[in-house]
Structure 1
Amino acid sequence: MGIISLIWGIFALLWMLLAFIPLLGWGNWFMIPFATVGAIIAAIGLAMTSPEKRGRAKAGLILNLVAIAVGAFRLVLGGGLV
């Protein structure tokens, strides 16, 4: 589960960077639910693995949470969330 959430987080961050391009900000509406699913997968991975093997799941959780936070901030900034 850890490697899946890590890859999911990398894709979410790449998608977030793509949504920074002007006129592609609407991509945040799709990226935020995508990253939320990745964060849920990471949380499941954290709960199911032993404490010494949680590094990938933690990294995936952090990447997905950063993507969610920046995407939501971008939507607020651009008037996408009122």
Structure 2
Amino acid sequence: MFNLLSIMIGLVALLLGIVPFLPFLAWGYWFVIPIAVVGAAIGALSSSNSGRNLNLVLILIFGLRLMLGGGLI
């Protein structure tokens, strides 16, 4: 159950992360990354790893995009 909830949170974070991918909107990742962190925390409570891994990949991609834009030093 926790894995399914984590995957759902990850999909919401993924959908919300599409808009900040555009130029000059990368500051939106400051709002999306905490959602993925919550999803990863819930996924860590599950016996399966797919939800946690999805959220960790999203955190990595969004954080990298934020660093490339100069928003994370």
8 Å Cα contact 1:6-1:63 kept in structure 2:
yes
Q: Which has the higher helix share?
A: 1
Which consecutive unaligned segments of at least 5 residues does structure 1 have? 47-53
TM-score scaled by length of structure 1: 0.79
8 Å Cα contact 1:13-1:63 kept in structure 2:
no
TM-score scaled by length of structure 2: 0.87
Q: Return the letter of the residue paired with 2:27.
A: W
Q: State percent identity of aligned pairs.
A: 46
8 Å Cα contact 2:3-2:52 kept in structure 1:
no
- How many residues were matched structurally? 72
Which consecutive unaligned segments of at least 5 residues does structure 2 have? none
Larger Rg: 1
What stretches of structure 1 move > 2 A for 4+ residues in a row? none
